[in-house]
Structure 1
């Protein structure tokens, strides 16, 4: 009698487990920049014109072959701050072979708004990944979509609404001129010396007036001070920004001024010479570094002689440029 009771109880447990597992979903998420067509399949849409409207489309499909599936949780955490963290009400039952769709539109007025959204996913880059998470009784799935923001002062375009006669549209982006990065200047002493002929540089964390000091800034480790101690994260970011500012200054002095790079450099120098927040430092390091890399493939101006690369000698004469009392 007892054995029969145990067998019946086990049958109930197994039947319950089977019913609980009889749920299965797949999800699909796509993002479209309105007015830009359907885009290229498999390529993240890029936002370059502002104001811009992003259209998020979700599809949740029951793929269980025999029974309905019940979603207990459906969330998109990145969009919660914009009022769309829960695209579907839950619990939500979806019949065999059926699906549910939802859409959400988000307006971005400026490139800065797009960059703020890009930073909200926790990575320091110009893209953001918005992930939809779906949970049911014994399972979970996710689907994500990526959007890339334009780079301020490089390929962002502000368009004017028809009802604003005072608005002035930004001109079309201009192809960058020649430029070189820190890796070039740290081994080309002759080019770096020609840059310094234009005068010394106050870079906030250091005053650079000699070839040896400039090489010290280019060869030193941003994370370690002159005594081998570990710098704070903020001080390391300030050091990295000073290095990019040195390189950007040399690009302008040697290869011609760039309005876009110049605006970024001015902001970087103001930031280095005053108080600065970690987020601003990271953004400027990334932005100025991209300006310095933008013209790597362009030939240097005719008649300019960078000299030969001398990495061993350059590293050997590099001296610490940091002034006492500076981080």
Structure 2
């Protein structure tokens, strides 16, 4: 294709010719210019698969059964032609997200070589509604779709996500799922979605999702966790802390962080404060909620 440019007055004086040849395809308006010094292009994104999500902790105990269940479910679902969903359920602060992080580090990453995407829906929930379009926009950019090619609407972003991910074996990790449609919109077409939430979503189970229930730590595992953080802890006192925190890992961590900030105190002081119902150990709402739940479940008033 050849085009003749003019001097702006409609005549061909000092004409500029623009030639397009080969396999080039013209999309959109064409600008005729006599001199083009250069066109800056954005740098290419790093040629590495996304590896998103919380890092696994070095301090992790028990959960042998849950890790095995998650591994077996992932292997079974990954072997099929359809995408799979695993629903990890447990109360706040029980360790669902960390369980998934540990499973990914140990084995799941090998099943999904094309990358891992992660989102905490709490970061996108306003007045109870998740902005799924924003989530999909983040996923598309993580999959190297330039922002200029990310459409505006939810339907268009959903379609593009499915097209881009169609040939990829992806692991999508989604925290704080409260309703089934939130999870369904983010299922990769050829991979696995692992969703964490505080309650069972029956409609996802009817879709074929595999349920993994995460219960609080038992006394043995909880005591081991306490002594990982506080090596000098007496076993009996550590067991009392576990009982008062109802085995919730986040509550146990909050209690031990409170102690670490007060080196003049002992684990016995933690037991005394927990028994008295003083569990506001930090500014983190999740920690305070976990402590409140643990105190209620552990009988902070009835056993004190």
Q: TM-score, normalised by structure 2?
A: 0.25
**Which protein has the bigger strand share?**
1
